[in-house]
Amino acid sequence: MKIGIIGTGSITGKHAQAIAEIEGAELVALYNPNPESAAKAKAQFGLLVLTDLEEFLKVPDMEIVCVCTPSGMHLEPALAAAKAGKHLMIEKPIEINLKRTDELIAACAENKVKLAVIFQNRFTEDYQKLKRAVSEGVFGRLLMGNAYVNWFRDSAYYSTSNWKGTLEADGGGALINQGIHTVDLLLDLMGDVKSVFGQVQTTLYPIEGEDLGAAIVNFKNGALGNITSATALYPGYPERIEIFGTEGSAILEAGKLTQWNIKESSEIVKPSQNSGGSGASDPTAIGHQLHLAQWKLFLRAIQEDQTPVVDGETARKSVELIRAIYFSSKKGKIVAFPFEDED
Ligand SMILES: NC(=O)c1ccc[n+]([C@@H]2O[C@H](COP(=O)([O-])OP(=O)(O)OC[C@H]3O[C@@H](n4cnc5c(N)ncnc54)[C@H](O)[C@@H]3O)[C@@H](O)[C@H]2O)c1
């Protein structure tokens, strides 16, 4: 299966590494409209790099396109690719607001192409164990689920990027860019949200989006939850998910189970070796193995005509929650779900 990638920045290399390890898959072309960036990518990847989107979409037999542009610039290239009949793998977040997200999902449905959104942290061995246990009711009735992303980025992280922390291209800051991975896991474990109260602020950096955010979530299943997400908390600690139920509790840190306590069970769970790393202090400190796991499943879903893991509707949920937190913070009010954007 031939694959092309749109955007040639820092995350593109992880996709290239992952695709190179899949038998029967081949990365055939890259697209970047900026001639300088395209030349740099050609030198880096040694592949065909096109600066014209129409030409890129005509590369023979290219069935799948992966979108790695800044978050608020996923929609336009994705629409063109969907219209050209390409299946789409999009980097997180699917888009930066619900209107753009819905447009993207609708275009894929209309053009009958598959859509998956990268949330690679779903694929650590320990997360999968936690998810299975929650689904099987091992923790009993869920009482509380927390997601903490107390991370740190230095000022150069923002000052050297033309889009990170901007409202137009990042959609905000720590929540929509960094925290969304863990918010996605929390929603996957705890289910849908009934209401949320959020507060966000910009504390350390001269950015439009937040570098500090917190929220209290009321889940439909009756459980409560806390979310924190930050890029201002030195030195940055591994992201953590806590699940508490009537029959037991578990804590997952940076993709590894560090606590597992089930009533009347003596099972001792040791953290697995392979967690994929944490971007707590350094965004480049993640491997490509989890992207590889999601790519393999996506290719299988295409071959078997199945719904991909983390499809558009699933990826929409974390955008909905984060947009609701922003709205709640702006209005100083609890926000009920389903939430629809104002703008
Ligand atoms: N899954 C993860 O852990 C992870 C990690 C980092 C980034 N990301 C996501 O990947 C996306 C890209 O992030 P990044 O860190 O690689 O950013 P980046 O700034 O390093 O790269 C963005 C790339 O897109 C190109 N670009 C900009 N506008 C374009 C357009 N209209 N058409 C084609 N190319 C265009 C830029 O020239 C650059 O090559 C973001 O959505 C981000 O949230 C995901």
Q: What is the CATH number of the domain that holds 221?
A: 3.30.360.10
* 9 and 26 both lie in a single domain: yes
Q: Considering the domain boundaries, does residue 304 fall inside one? A: yes
The answer to whether the CB of 34 is under 6 A from ligand 1 is yes
On the question of pLDDT at 24 being above 80, the answer is: yes
Structure tokens at 192: 């849908």
* pLDDT value, residue 185: 98
* pLDDT value, residue 282: 83
Q: Considering the domain boundaries, does residue 301 fall inside one? A: yes
On the question of pLDDT at 271 being above 80, the answer is: no
* 175 and 204 both lie in a single domain: yes
Which residues, 6+ apart, have CB-to-CB distance to 258 below 8 Å? Answer: 251, 252, 271
CA pair distance 278, 120, nearest whole angstrom: 12
- Please report which confidence band the pLDDT of residue 269 belongs to, taking 50, 70 and 90 as the band edges: confident
Residue with CA nearest ligand 1 atom 41: 71
Which of 12, 54, 69, 284 for a ligand 1 pocket mutation test, highest count of atoms within 8 Å of Cβ? 69
* pLDDT value, residue 75: 98
Q: What is the pLDDT of residues 40-65, one digit of tens each?
A: 999 999 999 999 999 999 999 999 99
* 145 and 213 both lie in a single domain: yes
Q: Considering the domain boundaries, does residue 114 fall inside one? A: yes
Return mean pLDDT, the chain.
Answer: 96
Please give the C-alpha separations between residue 303 and each of 104, 114, 213, in angstroms, as whole numbers: 22, 11, 41
Ligand 1 nearest atom to the CA of residue 34, by list position: 37
* 258 and 114 both lie in a single domain: no
* 19 and 84 both lie in a single domain: yes
Ligand 1 nearest atom to the CA of residue 291, by list position: 1
Q: Which domain holds residue 15?
A: 2-121+292-311
Which residues, 6+ apart, have CB-to-CB distance to 97 below 8 Å? Answer: 171, 319, 323, 341, 343
* 195 and 130 both lie in a single domain: yes
* 184 and 257 both lie in a single domain: yes
**The dihedral of CA 332, 101, 338, 190: what is its sign?**
negative
Q: For residue 215, report the distance from its CA to the centre of ligand 1, in Å.
A: 27
* 190 and 165 both lie in a single domain: yes
Q: Considering the domain boundaries, does residue 134 fall inside one? A: yes
Share of the chain above pLDDT 70, in %: 99
Residue with CA nearest ligand 1 atom 7: 11
Q: What is the pLDDT of residues 186-224, one digit of tens each?
A: 999 999 999 999 999 999 999 999 999 999 999 999 999
Q: Considering the domain boundaries, does residue 165 fall inside one? A: yes
The answer to whether the CB of 202 is under 6 A from ligand 1 is no
Q: For residue 78, report the distance from its CA to the centre of ligand 1, in Å.
A: 13
Indicate the number of domains in the chain: 2
The answer to whether the CB of 9 is under 6 A from ligand 1 is yes
Ligand 1 nearest atom to the CA of residue 162, by list position: 19
Q: Considering the domain boundaries, does residue 343 fall inside one? A: no
The answer to whether the CB of 286 is under 6 A from ligand 1 is yes
The answer to whether the CB of 221 is under 6 A from ligand 1 is no
Within 97-239, strands assigned E span: 115-117, 142-150, 193-201, 212-219, 224-230
On the question of pLDDT at 343 being above 70, the answer is: no
CA pair distance 41, 24, nearest whole angstrom: 23
Q: Considering the domain boundaries, does residue 258 fall inside one? A: yes
* 143 and 272 both lie in a single domain: yes
120 Cα distance to chain centroid: 7
* 36 and 68 both lie in a single domain: yes
* 25 and 163 both lie in a single domain: no
Beta bridge partners, 336, equal 195
